[in-house]
Amino acid sequence: AMEGGPSARIREGDCAVLKRDEVFKAVSVLRRRKIIFEKQWFYLDNAIGHIYGTTFEVTSGGNLQPKQEVEETTTETKEAGTDNRNIVDDGKSQKLTHDDIKALKDKGIKGQEIVQQLIENSTTFRDKTEFAQDKYIKKKKKKYEAVITIVKPSTRILSTMYYAREPGKINHLRYDTLAQMLTLGNIHAGNKMIVMETCSGLVLGAVMERMGGYGSIIQMYPGGGPVRAATSCFGFPKPFFDNLHEFPLSKVQSLLSGTFTTETLPADPEENALVEEESSGLTEEKQTSLQETEEEPTPEAAMEINPTEEQDTMDINAEDAEFKENKEKENKENVREKQIKQWERRKKLLEAAALLREKNADGLIVASKFHPTPLLLALLEFVAPSRPFVVYCQYKEPLLDCYTKLRERGGVINLKLSETWLRNYQVLPDRSHPKLTMSGGGGYLLSGITVVLDKGKSDSSNSEALKMEEPSSKRCRLQDLPC
């Protein structure tokens, strides 16, 4: 259901995104699971089987019902005023009270009808200008005609959602900045990519989407394991993950210096009794990771994470010999299981290390909370020459430092420090204007292209650096003149 062809249908177990106007929320499609979204409570059961993109209404029972296409009543020339000079806002123009409206809602009256009632009971409506009436109707519809669209997750949807709902989780990476990274990095099918991000796996997911399952990705991670909460929202088919590797940052230095060994692995997060939100380990935990995006974590989910925890808290009656024997068998099995898992982890680690050692990656993407300079200087070593790299930072200054250090290092050209300025527009006849500016706050990018590094020749890298710099502008020189 990933490629084109017949439209994808909503299935149980999917990660779907609820949309109402500009508000998004990612949820797990599960039966009899109560969802809260935009002040409404409902179950998703009735949505299963429908095509993604379908718009639903919430019935009084908390069920979803596809919205019927309603014929818009032909606009006869309605009564309208010319301006608001005589309209006084005393809060008394609406004759229906809160209780009246509630009564209508309780009766099961549809939102459309409620809006109609509000219009009829407004003393000032017919004095408003046509534009003001339009705006009034839109506002009431938004409040009372609660329709929800269920959309299929994509980079577009998820990056917009995360930026609006949880920007802190993605280092305030605005979606247009992410879009630039994917293009500047020439992310496409067949690449061998190195990705280092602390954006809940959103950037990883975006890269995976653009690679379509072709090629390979090595995700570098801090701490015990990569966080892929957002990645699971994309709903990629299993094969996409076959060529997704991970490698701990803590082993990078040893890999670069040739002293890498698998003897001391990063702490296994599964052994931790406490489940930190940040550590999701290397196991597939689709359901639990989605909890991050929902407002209320469910108790069942918390229990799924730690199968070993159950064991630790089991107090066994030692006097029951048979029970004890069975328990010993169980323990042995568990130990064996753990050993197999460890062996698998070690094997994967060696595979990732081997891939990195080839030093022929087709690109590098960095978007993390860490200072970018040490990351870039280390990870660029694994990238082939004539390949793009892009670093995101929430702040400009660390990228100034990064730029400077890269110039000193050499082996990079076309360095560019940039940010994008995004503006949304309202387009209506005679009423078109920008909506709101989002300039600033989108983060900054430093991008460049690798070239063959002339190591040990400081002279050539200096002359290289000089060649790469734009001749300093007149403005700068003036500042050096004595006063």
Partner 1 sequence: MSFVEYGDTIKDGDTAIVFLGHESMFPVKVQHGTVTQTKYGVIRHSTDLIGKKYGSKVTCSKGGWVFILHPTPELWTMNLPHRTQILYSTDISIITMMLELKPGSIVCESGTGSGSLSHALIRTVAPTGHLYTVEFHQQRAEKAREEFREHGVEHLVTVTNQDVCKNGFGVSNIADAVFLDIPSPWEAIGHAKSALKAEGGRICSFSPCIEQVQRTCLAMEEYGFTEINTLEILLRVYNVRTISLQIPDLGKEVEDNSSTGFDSSNPSHQGSPCANLQQGTVQFKSGVPLREVVGHTGYLTFATKS
Give residues 172-191 in contact with partner 1 (rule: CB under 8 A): 175-176, 178-180, 182-184, 186, 188-191
Tokens of 37: 């979204």
- Kindly write out the interface string for residues 206-245 of this chain, putting x where it contacts partner 1 by CB under 8 A and - elsewhere: ---xxxxxx-------------------------------
Kindly state whether residue 452 participates in binding partner 1, applying the rule CB under 8 A.
yes
Q: Is 47 helix (H, G, I), strand (E, B) or coil?
A: helix
Kindly state whether residue 427 participates in binding partner 1, applying the rule CB under 8 A.
yes
Kindly state whether residue 7 participates in binding partner 1, applying the rule CB under 8 A.
yes
Residue 394 CA to residue 371 CA, distance in Å, equals: 10
Residue 32 CA to residue 56 CA, distance in Å, equals: 17
Of 135, 156, 165, 338, the residue at the interface with partner 1 (CB under 8 A) is 156
In terms of Cα–Cα distance, which of 84, 93, 89, 85 is closest to 128? 84
- Kindly write out the interface string for residues 12-51 of this chain, putting x where it contacts partner 1 by CB under 8 A and - elsewhere: ---------------------------------------x
Rg of the chain on CA atoms, in Å = 29
Cα separations (Å) of 311 from 5, 275, 284, 308?
48, 16, 20, 5
In terms of Cα–Cα distance, which of 200, 192, 210, 261 is closest to 233? 200
Kindly state whether residue 3 participates in binding partner 1, applying the rule CB under 8 A.
yes
- Kindly write out the interface string for residues 385-424 of this chain, putting x where it contacts partner 1 by CB under 8 A and - elsewhere: xxxx-------xx-xxx-xx--------xxxxxxxxxxxx
Tokens of 70: 């309603």
Neighbours of 133 (CB within 10 A): 19
Residue 92 or 467: the one with the smaller Cβ distance to partner 1 is 467
Residue carrying the six token digits 């293009």: 183
Kindly state whether residue 478 participates in binding partner 1, applying the rule CB under 8 A.
no
Q: How far is the CB of 147 from partner 1 (least distance, A)?
A: 11
Q: Is 310 helix (H, G, I), strand (E, B) or coil?
A: helix
How many positions of this chain bind partner 1 (CB under 8 A)? 81
Subset of 342-381 contacting partner 1 (CB under 8 A):
360, 362
Of 41, 323, 343, 425, the residue at the interface with partner 1 (CB under 8 A) is 425
Kindly state whether residue 152 participates in binding partner 1, applying the rule CB under 8 A.
yes
Which residues, in sequence order, are CB contacts of 388 under 8 Å at separation 6+? 184, 185, 186, 363, 447, 448, 449, 450
Residue 214 or 323: the one with the smaller Cβ distance to partner 1 is 214
Q: How far is the CB of 241 from partner 1 (least distance, A)?
A: 16
